[in-house]
Amino acid sequence: AAAAAAAAAAAAAAAAACWPAESKVRMENLLAVMMRLRNVRNLDSRQTNAVDSAYFACRPPDKAMQRRRRPPLQEYMRHLIFEVLSDGSIVEVLRKLMKLPWAEAEPYLLKCLLKVSRVRFQHIALIASLAGGLAQYHDSLGVGLVDLVLEDVRWGLDHPTQGNYQQRLAQVRLLGEAYNYMLLDSRAVFDVLYMLIGHAHDSEETALKLDPPDDFFRIRLVRRPVLHRIHFVRINFVHIRGLHSVVA
């Protein structure tokens, strides 16, 4: 049964990559046979999930095929931030964003900038650089971005699940890059670092729940996204040495 399920899943996944119009009927019949075998065979959950993944890769649900329709202005901002923004285009993206009707564009622009988990990890610096350039003309954007990121970081500490680890890493990395572009000062950076280290440790019961002894993810948050990305020229060395003694 396992061999049959694996073979059917592999065949369906391979066919999904190339589905010419003349073989549509035959492919639909093969998929139907595969799903009938899935239902009559005694498969475990892993094998069942493999078959389901192959099936929905060939025939996505109708809801997945419906693309969310947004206003043209929002689509334009998403296009600039998620598709156009790069090392060579950041100046041009900044100029285009500055031309938008700011009162209407700022709320959604903030929402896009906060979705740092959607961009490559090494491109988060570009998001911070773009925010720093916009904040020179619109202070509210820089303040709002930092406030919202701090709220998200605090929420992640209160709700530590593996499903949001990537998002939490990206958020803390954005804070470190925001410091480099002077969107927040060193006092706020150290407040965040101490919060990452000591949050929920006032109570032993809460600490065991939110930061168990065998979970070192908070150390990763401190050492990689923050300490490795901040240019320490503007921070007092005594504070840095003391902080390293805490997280070492």
Answer whether residue 5 shows pLDDT above 60. Answer: no
Average pLDDT over residues 75-79: 93
- Burial 26-46, CB ≥16 within 10 A → b, else e: ebeebbeebeebbeeeebeee
CA dihedral 43→45→46→50, nearest 10 degrees, is: 80
Q: Considering only the C-alpha atoms of the chain, give the largest distance between any 2 of them, rounded to a whole number of Å.
A: 72
The answer, yes or no, to whether residue 229 has pLDDT greater than 70, is: no
pTM greater than 0.85 (yes/no): no
As a whole number of angstroms, the distance between CA 79 and CA 130 comes to: 14
Per-residue confidence (pLDDT) for residue 47, from 0 to 100: 81
pLDDT digits over 114-128, tens only?
988 778 877 888 999
Q: Evaluate if residue 65 carries a pLDDT over 60.
A: no
Give the model confidence (pLDDT) of 152-202 as tens digits: 989 988 888 877 888 888 888 888 888 888 898 888 888 888 888 888 787
Nearest-CA neighbor of 124 among 161, 80, 87? 87
Taking each helix axis as running N to C, give the angle between helix 45-58 and helix 2-16, from 0 to 180 degrees, rounded to the nearest 10: 20
